[in-house]
Amino acid sequence: MTDKSATDFELRDLTDIADDLRSGRLTSGDLAEWAIANHDAHGEKLHAYKAWETERFLAEASVADAAFAANIDLGPLQGIPVSVKDLFGVRGYQTFAGSPKPLPPEWEAEGPVVQALRRQLAVVSGKTHTVQFAFGSIGTNPHWGTPHNPWCADEHRAPGGSSAGAGVSLWEGSALVALGTDTAGSVRMPASMTGTVGIKTTKGRWSTDGISPLSTTLDTPGTLTRSVADAALAFSVIDPEASQDPASFLATVERASMADFRLGICRDFFEDCDPGIAEGVHEALRELEAAGATLVDIAVPGIDEAIQIFRTGGLSAPEFSSFISDVLPGFLEDIDPMVGGRFEKMKAMTVGEYLGRLRRLEALTRMAHGAIAGVDAIVGPTVPITPPRIADVAEPSPYMQASLMIGRNTTTTNLLVMCANTLPVALDASGMPVGLHIMCAGGEDVRAMAISRAAEKVLGRARDRLGVPPLGI
């Protein structure tokens, strides 16, 4: 280790770690060895990774260090360990997409999101578990096993899906940034359920090339991080617009104050929450109001109808059915029973029904965006229920009930073409994390990040506000 004072990585923001890499107080090899030691200590229990290759990890770290030694600085994520959901193509790794066999080699090609990290010599720690083909919000996988939510030591609770291993890898201490995808909340649900920060970008802002699809209409790449400050730094690297002038983007985010923002409290999102969830979010909002935020009640037309469309398959069910039937038909025989049980219903949707849903969602989107024009964001709990015990969702009926409730609040963001972030603000009555959901109109990703960062400066980072989970570092 280059400098013993630089070893408390779990306590430090990415910006500080990046500064130490450039000053020589720290090496990427140091970071990799720290992450590997954490994985050796916690990996068997937490089960975050589908693919973990220690030698590849160390080799990529050595490349980053060689560049530093040659005075080559490619950006703030150079040498930083990043875990990648096993839907993304990554050079040197097969892509399984949660299936028992690998997808054809063309799905190993890297798309623009991974390429943005590669250009800065970020280090891939490994590929994290996903629900098969990303079709599920709980995080279970019958083929490879389900990651363990680090906030519950005695019972196996859900980590959230479909980016099931992403948030877990952060608390394991084997990655400092995690890549995920979000179709109905698949970044934000695991982020909320594991006490991390999740970023859902506006559809089309980040390319989905190089990612196994679930819904071509709704899929969006995103990140999970340990703090909003870290999320902003990763955004400045990956986002095609922010990366053109990252310093300006980061300055905009950092100077934001809660007094700058008017937040709409949408009561629909607070209904039927498990004990401690609504209460935890309300307490956080009171703190933000005391710090200068303006809070108003707001009604968003179309939310109930969008939720009903989600409960009957949304757009992802027919789009996934078409994709797997046409492109990967050989994978149907090994489909997760919790997905396969819905497959006949997916295939039964007619073209007319599908197009009708598209038209109706376009109308609902216009209505919703009009209703929220007077506020900077709408807010509420990210996930309305506590992460369920895996044993309690082993059968189809309780599985579907829990899955639909977990995604109830987040899916509206996707269906109504919005962007959203979640940050941890409380522990519920079961001692599990609670997320504050910050939703902005489509295209307002910078505003969403600024509000989230301003909120974090008031509420504190996850580690400060929630403490450390019993199975995390």
Nearest Cα to 55, choosing from 144, 128, 126, 2? Answer: 126
Three-class secondary structure of residue 435 per DSSP: strand
Interatomic CA distance for residues 220 and 243, integer angstroms? 18
Interatomic CA distance for residues 307 and 3, integer angstroms? 52
Catalytic residue, chosen from 28, 50, 85, 403, is: 85
Catalytic residue, chosen from 186, 192, 236, 316, is: 186
Axis-axis angle for helices 28-46, 14-23 (nearest 10): 140
Note whether 89 and 114 are within 8 A (CB): yes
Note whether 160 and 154 are within 8 A (CB): no
Interatomic CA distance for residues 372 and 439, integer angstroms? 10
Q: Is 162 marked active-site?
A: yes
Interatomic CA distance for residues 61 and 193, integer angstroms? 30
Q: Is 430 marked active-site?
A: no
Q: Is 85 marked active-site?
A: yes
Note whether 64 and 76 are within 8 A (CB): no
Interatomic CA distance for residues 51 and 318, integer angstroms? 30
Interatomic CA distance for residues 414 and 420, integer angstroms? 9
**Pair of tokens at residue 407:** 């995604």
Interatomic CA distance for residues 195 and 389, integer angstroms? 17
Interatomic CA distance for residues 150 and 461, integer angstroms? 17
DSSP 179-236: EEEESSSTTHHHHHHHT-EEEEPPTTTS--TTB--S-TTT-EEEEEESSHHHHHHHHH
Interatomic CA distance for residues 117 and 235, integer angstroms? 11
Q: What are phi and psi of 341, to 5 degrees?
A: -65, -20
Residue showing tokens 């990529």: 60
Catalytic residue, chosen from 162, 192, 236, 316, is: 162
Would you name the residues annotated as active-site residues? 85, 162, 186
